[in-house]
């Protein structure tokens, strides 16, 4: 009888999503840090939220019975979570966990620009949301998640360094070209908003570039994006088409990695579309290895 009753009611040991309280944020952040490259994007947003109130919320799947009564949340109590802010970012979620999170997201409503994270989790989330949401701008179902193994094998390009405010006029079209080439559409939103984003990356020292001093043309650029604990994610890697095939991206990326490590991040990661053979060859030549598979739904 007990077994039949469990079949009717469902297992009481199955974790159910709950909205995190402010006191849960440090444990959630530590959970993301422990996930390494897989947790860096959500961990970055969580770190901002821990430092100061920010838009977005966290839904947690907590291991049933892991906590004693009155005990605060610890990282080991968490089985998976999802950051819901401008984007949806699952961390530690398999297909089953993502399936349980999808109804929560649907009920909460809101507008998101993307779903990004582990391939199986993103697929399960999108399966639970797609019938109620508009068709995506793009769906990239197979994106190798890569981390640098070792110290790197390529000599850094000394011409690559932090962009300065006087480079803004050159950097905006280069950043726009990278976005459009990678995703197949221009950055959404007003032009001034995107310009402000690029200016902010320059101000924070996160936008690195090689600019031809004679023409003022951006030859190579990349950005230090999300960061969590010892990890930083490199984003927005782009070489001007006129300069491709000369090894510029390899040496440029080596310089970006060296700069990241000088700033205190010992672990470097990125993710890339599986069909971008040229980029994959660059990253592998530098010593990046695949540590997972991500997917992105652009909304």
Question: Which sequence spans correspond to the domains of the chain?
Answer: 2-133, 161-293
Which tokens is 8 given? 């009717």
Cα–Cα distance between 7 and 114 in angstroms, integer? 36
CB of 267 within 8 A of CB of 232?
yes
Cα–Cα distance between 51 and 73 in angstroms, integer? 18
CATH class of the domain whose range is 161-293: alpha beta
Query: Is the pTM value of this prediction over 0.95?
Result: no
Sign of the four-CA dihedral 270, 275, 278, 281: positive
What's the confidence (pLDDT) of residue 69?
84
DSSP-derived secondary structure for 156-176: PPTT-EE--GGGHHHHHHHHH
What's the confidence (pLDDT) of residue 183?
87
What's the confidence (pLDDT) of residue 64?
87
Packed helices 119-129 and 95-108: angle between N→C axes, nearest 10 degrees: 40
What's the confidence (pLDDT) of residue 13?
63
Packed helices 40-51 and 25-34: angle between N→C axes, nearest 10 degrees: 150
The tens place of each residue's pLDDT in the chain, 299 residues long, gives 344 443 333 445 667 899 999 999 999 999 999 999 999 999 999 999 988 777 789 999 998 888 888 899 999 999 999 999 999 999 999 999 999 999 999 998 888 999 999 999 999 999 999 999 999 999 999 999 999 987 777 999 999 999 999 999 999 999 999 999 988 889 988 999 999 999 999 999 999 999 999 999 999 999 999 999 999 999 999 999 999 999 999 999 999 999 999 999 999 999 999 999 999 999 999 999 999 999 999 99
């Amino acid at each position: 009888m007990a077994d039949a009753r469990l079949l009717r009611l469902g297992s009481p040991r199955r974790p159910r999503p709950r909205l995190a309280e402010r006191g849960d944020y440090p444990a959630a952040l530590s959970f993301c840090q422990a996930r390494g490259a897989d947790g860096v994007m959500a961990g970055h947003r969580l770190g901002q939220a821990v430092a100061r109130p920010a838009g977005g919320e966290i839904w947690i799947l907590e291991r049933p019975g892991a906590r004693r009564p009155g005990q605060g949340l610890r990282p080991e109590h968490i089985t998976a979570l999802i950051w819901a802010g401008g984007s949806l970012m699952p961390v530690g979620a398999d297909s089953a966990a993502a399936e349980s999170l999808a109804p929560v997201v649907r009920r909460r409503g809101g507008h998101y620009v993307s779903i990004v994270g582990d391939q199986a989790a993103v697929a399960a989330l999108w399966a639970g949301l797609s019938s109620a949401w508009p068709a995506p701008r793009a769906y990239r179902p197979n994106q190798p998640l890569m981390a640098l193994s070792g110290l790197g094998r390529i000599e850094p390009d000394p011409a690559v360094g932090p962009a300065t405010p006087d480079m803004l006029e050159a950097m905006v079209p280069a950043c726009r070209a990278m976005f459009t080439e990678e995703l197949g559409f221009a950055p959404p939103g007003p032009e001034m908003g995107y310009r402000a984003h690029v200016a902010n990356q320059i101000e924070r020292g996160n936008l690195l570039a090689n600019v031809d001093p004679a023409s003022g043309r951006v030859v190579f650029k990349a950005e230090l994006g999300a960061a969590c604990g010892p990890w930083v994610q490199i984003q927005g890697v782009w070489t001007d088409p006129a300069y491709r095939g000369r090894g510029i991206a390899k040496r440029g990326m080596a310089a970006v990695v060296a700069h990241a490590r000088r700033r205190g991040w010992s672990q470097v990661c990125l993710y890339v579309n599986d069909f971008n053979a040229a980029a994959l060859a660059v990253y592998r030549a530098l010593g990046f290895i695949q540590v997972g598979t991500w997917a992105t739904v652009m909304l």
